[in-house]
Structure 1
Amino acid sequence: MRIGILGPTESEIMPFISKILNKKLSEHAMLKFYSGIYEDVEVVSAFCGVCKVNAAIATQILISKFEVTHIVLTGVAGALSRDLEIGDTVISSEVAYHDVANGILTEYHPWMKDIYFRPDGELLKLCEDISKTLSGTSKCHIGRIITGETFVTHNEREGLIENFNPLCVDMESASVAHTCYVNNIPFIVIRSMSDNADESGLETFENNMEMAALNSIKLVEGLIKKLGESKKQKNRLS
């Protein structure tokens, strides 16, 4: 088992990378990858950069160069559902692009049945279980995440809600999910809210980013620990 953990920016991933033991640094495609051990599990982590292409590049490198068995994307997102407060965390049940025509994914490679990428069931269940044990005032939700490459304006929100019924929006999740899908790699996306329907925009995002990122990382750390415990249990039974 080797887990790949990505975050779009340093603020969204370095608090986790700082806890990796026996870190080794390597560079590929102008990206820095940190490999080592967390909770007795092999991990490889990087901040991939913002936007879809950067996230896809980093994901493919994790798969091809580091041969990871699972991928987790962590970071922040903008809430679209009014059920979400700033700091709340969304665990992906489905992930989709909101700025790619539907037929591109269903009529061409990778010839999907619909436009939604779905995470690994075991990872989703583990995240759900862990979320129920986390302390603090912020809540965890399971639902749909959509991805596009611009900050969503207040005027655009209603259209996205009507078309996709998502919980939140970001700039990387669908491309990570897409890359995992074509490589048959289990994935999960965990994003905490840096802004919502009432408080949106770049300034709000920057003000809340650090707090929200830590909420997301807390769940990621719990997931890795659970995966490590599960692996040990399976080894004892074999």
Structure 2
Amino acid sequence: MLRIGVIGPSEKEIAEFINKITEKKQIEHAMLKFYSGIYGEIEVVSVVCGVCKVNASIATQVLIDKFDVTHIILIGVAGALSSQLEVGDIVISSEVAYHDVASGILTEYHPWMEDIYFKADGKLIELSMEAASSLVATSKFYTGRIITGETFITHKEREYLVQQFNPLCVDMESASVAHTCYVNRIPFVVIRSMSDNADEKSSEQFKINAETAAQNSIKVVEGLIIKLSLSLV
């Protein structure tokens, strides 16, 4: 059985995907609306989780416990930290980490990780890259590290985060989705489009660019789901 959970932090980051689900049923859990149905020929369950780490974790756990999803994909927008990234470019996660959680918390306590990085699923990364490469668009795609914390980044913080983590981009949900998938042994991948440059203007840029930039991550997840279904035939 293949059942894909697709999460977006806000409606503007995922509504277009939800609208394409057929045989759609809406079910509420934990004050969240989950939309189950079919995309292509694959069972999917999608949700607008809300912004921030705890909201994303709640939605992820409900997808696992109540809907028995086999894979989880987080989509949406993010702030670019790498100088090579431009607005609209796509980042596919190779691994994900918190930038606002002390490293020992995850290695010395539950879930006793070897390091602070949650590794995305290799097959999902591969198929996401194939889906991204087949898009006819001016935007580019990259695979690499994503970091998560609950704040818009200032210029001074940006320099520190680049030195400390060498990430491609930053957001407010990816690490918590990855963390929840890790302890439940559920394969995951994150697909983010760049909405801003993660600096003192990021909040303003996000409001202007988020909906347009999100279209790219939606296109990639649609291609990924089709390729995942074909890979299992």
TM range (shorter): over 0.9
Deviation readout 1:162-221 (Å, 9 max, x if unpaired):
000000000000000000000000000000000016783211111000111111000000
TM-score (norm 2): 0.98
Match of 1:113 in 2: 114
Q: Is the 8 A contact 1:154 1:200 kept in 2?
A: no
The equivalences for 1:117-132 within 5 A come to: 117-132=118-133
CA distance in 2, matches of 1:200, 1:192: 17
CA distance in 1, matches of 2:162, 2:21: 38
CA distance in 1, matches of 2:111, 2:10: 28
**C-alpha root-mean-square deviation of aligned residues, in Å?**
1.0
SS of residue matched to 1:175: helix
Gaps spanning 5+ residues in structure 1: where?
234-238
* Cα distance, 1:75–1:170 mapped onto 2, change above 3 Å: same
Match of 2:24 in 1: 23
Alpha-carbon shift at residue 133 of structure 1 (Å): 1.1
Alpha-carbon shift at residue 230 of structure 1 (Å): 1.7
SS of residue matched to 2:86: coil
Match of 1:177 in 2: 178
CA distance in 1, matches of 2:15, 2:31: 17
Alpha-carbon shift at residue 131 of structure 1 (Å): 1.7
TM-score (norm 1): 0.96
Match of 2:219 in 1: 218
The equivalences for 1:1-238 within 5 A come to: 1-196=2-197, 200-231=201-232, 233=233
CA distance in 1, matches of 2:138, 2:181: 32
Gaps spanning 5+ residues in structure 2: where?
none
List structure 1 runs of 4+ shifted beyond 4 angstroms.
none
Aligned residues: 232
Letter in 1 for 2:208: N
| Identity percentage of aligned residues | 70
